[in-house]
A and B are shown apart, each in its own frame.
Chain A
Amino acid sequence: MGVFRNEAGKIVATLARLLGDIDLAEDAVQEALATALERWPRDGVPDRPGAWLMTTARNKSLDHIRRERTRATAREAALRLHIDDEGDRSSGLDSSAVGDDRLALLFTCCHPALAPEARVALTLRLIGGLTTPEIARAFLVQESTMAQRLVRAKHKIRAARIPIRVPPQPLLAERVPSVLSVIYLIFNEGYLATAGTDVVRDSLCDEAIRLARLLVLLMPEEPEAAGLLALLLLNHSRRGERQSADGQLRTLRMQERSRWDQAAIREGREVLEAALARHRPGRYQIEAAIAAVHSEASTVESTDWAQIAALYVTLRDIAPSPIAALNHAVAIAEAGSPDTALALADDVAESLDDYHLLHVTRAELLVRLGRTDDAIAAYDRALELVRNDAERAHLQRRRASALAGTTR
């Protein structure tokens, strides 16, 4: 019943906007789906299943509203449903308004007045159509914790009246980055898997790419949306090579590049080129450009590190961050200046002291500079901080080879 997840998401979005109440919209759609499961096998699938579900869900929500006449908002919501019914009865689910509804709900899910973890959970639930247990598993929290997080967030949307709409200009420019960063967070949670080793998390990458595609479709004028999609596609093209069959982490250097997903790379580059042609660069477009340079090289050695280092200069200009500085340092080292790179890494060492990759990078640079004792200390600090099992095993191997005096 794959049609269900997709259609259900669209219908929840439309009803949520009409009703101004996400819970009511979700309940009505759940009931409509239950009715479909009961009737379709018996009576056959209707000609337009989406439109059927929409009509049924709308009627279910009207039933709810009638049962709760005492609520001050009930009458108002019913009125809005009727107005819409009169207004565009013929348009059904095919209207472009549905796209706007999903975009509106996405902006609501990513509202800055919601906690970041609530934004991610709401987006996966309401736009991605994942179930609460699925989201809980993906983020390694108890199902009851995730359920409560969702309930609280939806309560806040209703009680504080966070609008369900695409923000008007000039607010839009301020709110787009939050939507992009929620999608990027979802992807990274799957891609980097901060803890444990769970296959469920791979689906988070697919889900994030699906959301990014949707955003590009809904906001074709926003080059950063395309930049994000390109970045996700290019990163995801390496997914099969990031771990060996026995679960060991493979760094860029150890990956078999011919096994990178060429279709994803091609699409990522095309999407990126179209975005860059708009001449409104942003952090996601630059990060995608860096990933694209990697995808063009057949080995680490033949990579155009000078160009990557230059792109990091631009990135740090647009979106300064210690992480960007650290990655810049890595590019400088690969371009042939490990001592300059170490100085740059040391500059951000204080602000990234809790980040294991800072210590990994410093360790690798110190090995190259022949400072083995300092390198071992840096590996030890990285091992204290690392949470992913495959990465820990990799670092232990690197530390051992540094001790043995062999590099690379």
Chain B
Amino acid sequence: MKYILLIHVPSGAPAEADMIERHMAFAQAAGSRGKLVDGAQLEDIATATTLRRRADETIVTDGPHMETKEHLGGYYVIDCGDLDEAIEIAKGVPLNDGGALEIRPLVEH
């Protein structure tokens, strides 16, 4: 069963030192257990572009879909037996202070 780990970062939070190293360490550990499927850090929120569908028209605008206090900073896709295992692996993902991580199962077809 695949789960996506959505990493939410508080907007405007200062960059924390060694975050990249901690992510590399997590990816290596999860990867060596055969649990890591995919993952990436997202570029800054200022780089976001949003498409909106209105009837037959598609409108392109600058900025994120919603202005919120948190934004998506990155994600991992992991492959686990059940939610308990997903939670256990997700606990190893480095988070900013005040950050949050959302676990969502991927629909299997």
Contact = CB atoms under 8 A, between A and B. Distances in A.
A174 to B, nearest CB: 10
Contacts of A159: 105
Which 7 pairs, one residue from A and one from B, show the smallest C-beta to C-beta distance? Answer: A163-B82, A161-B82, A162-B83, A160-B105, A160-B83, A161-B1, A161-B83
Interface in B88-109: 88, 103-105, 108
Contacts of B82: 161-163
A163 B83 contact: yes
A113 interface: yes
Contacts of A162: 82-84
Contacts of B1: 161
Contacts of B24: none
A167 B108 contact: no
Contacts of A113: 83, 87
Contacts, number: 24
A285 B9 CA distance: 41
A72 B105 CA distance: 16
Nearest to B85: A163
The main secondary structure of chain B at its interface with chain A is: mixed
Nearest to A161: B82
Contacts of A72: 108
A366 B69 CA distance: 44
A387 B86 CA distance: 41
A258 B107 CA distance: 61
Given A161-B83, A167-B84, 7 more contacts: A72-B108, A160-B83, A160-B103, A161-B1, A161-B81, A162-B82, A163-B82
Interface residues on B, range: 10 to 19
Interface string A153-167: 000000111110001
A163 B84 contact: yes
Most buried by A among B81, B83, B87: B83
Nearest to B105: A160
A162 B87 CA distance: 10
Interface string A131-167: 0000000000000000000000000000111110001
A162 B104 CA distance: 12
Contacts of B88: 171
6 contacts: A72-B108, A159-B105, A160-B83, A161-B1, A162-B82, A171-B84
Q: Is the interface of A mostly helix, strand, loop or mixed?
A: loop
A114 B87 CA distance: 13
A167 B104 CA distance: 21
Interface in B1-54: 1
| Residue with the highest number of chain A CB atoms closer than 10 Å, among B82, B84, B108 | B84
A163 B87 CA distance: 12
B108 to A, nearest CB: 7
Nearest to A175: B84
A160 B104 CA distance: 7
A160 B81 CA distance: 10
B93 to A, nearest CB: 16
Chain B CB within 10 Å, residue with most, of A72, A163, A167: A163
A189 to B, nearest CB: 27
A222 B91 CA distance: 27
Nearest to B107: A159
Contacts of B81: 161, 163
B41 to A, nearest CB: 25
A4 to B, nearest CB: 31
Nearest to A157: B83
A113 B81 CA distance: 16
Interface in A168-199: 171
A113 B3 CA distance: 14
Q: Which among B82, B88, B104 has the greatest number of chain A C-beta atoms within 10 A?
A: B82
A399 B60 CA distance: 65
Nearest to B1: A161
A167 B105 CA distance: 20
A171 B87 CA distance: 11
Nearest to B87: A113
A163 B82 CA distance: 6
Contacts of B108: 72
A171 B86 CA distance: 13
Nearest to B80: A161
Contacts of A163: 81-84
A161 B82 CA distance: 5
Contacts of A111: 83
A375 to B, nearest CB: 42
Interface string B51-90: 0000000000000000000000000000001111001100
Nearest to A168: B84
Nearest to A158: B105
A161 B105 contact: yes
A159 B82 CA distance: 10
A176 to B, nearest CB: 15
